[in-house]
Amino acid sequence: MIHTKLFNSRKSVFSAMSELIGEQGAVDMTVGRSDFPCPPRLIELAHEHMLRGMNNYSPIEGVVSLREVIAGIIEKQHGVCYNPEKEITITAGCIQAATTAISALVGDGDEVIIFEPAFDSYVPAVELNGGRPVYVSLKAPDFHIDWDEVRKRITLKTKMIIINFPHNPTGSVLSEEDMKQLKRLVNGTNIVILSDENFKHLVYDNKKHQSIADYEDLAERSIMVSSFGSVYNINGWGIAYCAAPEKLMAEFRKIHQFQVFNVNTPLQYALADFLKEDKTYLEISDFYQGKRNYFNRLLKDTGFEFIPSQGSYFQVLNYASLSDEKEPDFAVRLAREYGVAALPISIFQHEKNNSQLLRFCFAKSNETLELAAERLASVPALI
């Protein structure tokens, strides 16, 4: 009999939704898969580097030119200078980066603060390394952090706090006050912060993304993870990066070298060249705010309730006026009977609470958003 280290019931939900999308032709709003193309120039650059023979292994830390341009972008945006040689590493996506950081720093008996709903890769990585996840629930309806509750969860065993903002799955963001609270919380401790900032370029309503790199005393104890996947619609390239002070990056690389020997070489070169030429990442939030606004306007004729997402390209909808079913059951019925597939928020929680919330990805064409909204409007209200 095979002993499994992890049991994850979420597979059944994803499998059911995938089958319904294929069988029923449901509009797929489950995962962060955009309808939009990669910039043609980026494809040209990838082709050019392949033709030039840049098809062998890259340095384990990543192509130097890409690390240098990322260091320059971070310094320009956040005012902190990371050494591209010793403090920036290119990774095979954000999940790999976060998993490697956890593997490098969390050991037997260590406690890790995780905010729920939580992106699904954190808890397995903590548990596989002998750590214990300590859950703190974000407070609905705007999914903010209750810092008094966080303080109560801190012990001498707390090794790491994981923050993931703009938040996946809820679309909430941190404020300057949140960062001040975090600074007070970790001051005088050895707690390390893992800051997953994958959607850092997608923040709305004139809010400013609060990066760990904006605060020197926090940056000194943090590993920051991000990518340009959602900006240029290249999530499938599997290229991300992490930035951290040398002492933390040295530990990160000890694990990284055995997990990922190489990240796609020609695509690294292409992205490095493209980032030197292109600055549209500074404007992408306006594009997705427009998509969010359009989708939300379309929802006015439905029975779903919501607070507009403040970041990422996910919108959480409350269906309490439409059904009292549990989230997975309603999600499956929504896909089967009404042709729209979304994810239950409960699958992002260790206790499957029924808050009657679903997550929808709005990185879609207007035609797709219109079709989804038309179908959502046909769901009848509870009598």
Q: pLDDT grade, residue 17 (50/70/90)? A: confident
Q: What is the 3-state secondary structure (H, E, C) of the chain?
A: CCCCCCCCCHHHHHHHHHHHHHHHCCEECCCCCCCCCCCHHHHHHHHHHHHCCCCCCCCCCCCHHHHHHHHHHHHHHHCCCCCCCCCEEEECCHHHHHHHHHHHHCCCCCEEEEEECCCCCHHHHHHHCCCEEEEEECECCCCECCHHHHHHHCCCCEEEEEEECCCCCCCCCCCHHHHHHHHHHHCCCCCEEEEECCCCCCECCCCCCCCHHHCHHHHCCEEEEEECHHHHCCHHHCCEEEECCHHHHHHHHHHHHHHCCCCCHHHHHHHHHHHHHCCHHHCHHHHHHHHHHHHHHHHHHCCCECCCCCECCEEEEECCCCCCCCHHHHHHHHHHHHCEECEEHHHHCCCCCCCCEEEEECCCCHHHHHHHHHHHHCCCCCC
Q: What angle do CA 212, 218, 219 make, to 5 degrees?
A: 65
Domain-by-domain residue ranges, the chain?
A: 10-30+283-377, 55-278
Rounded (10°) CA dihedral 126, 220, 228, 290: 100
pLDDT tens figures, 230-280? 999 999 999 999 999 999 999 999 999 999 989 999 999 999 999 998 888
Question: For the domain bounded by 10-30+283-377, which CATH number is listed?
Answer: 3.90.1150.10
Please compute the mean of the pLDDT values over residues 118-144 and round it to a whole number: 96
Residue 134: band (very low, low, confident or very high) from pLDDT cuts 50, 70, 90 = very high
CATH top-level class of 55-278 = alpha beta
pLDDT for position 351: 84
Residue type, 188: G
| Residue pLDDT, tens place only, 143-152 | 999 999 999 9
Q: What is the mean pLDDT of the chain?
A: 94
Which range is least confidently modeled, 33-42, 206-215, 352-361? 352-361
Average pLDDT over residues 196-210: 97
Token digits for 254?
Answer: 């000890």
pTM score: 0.94
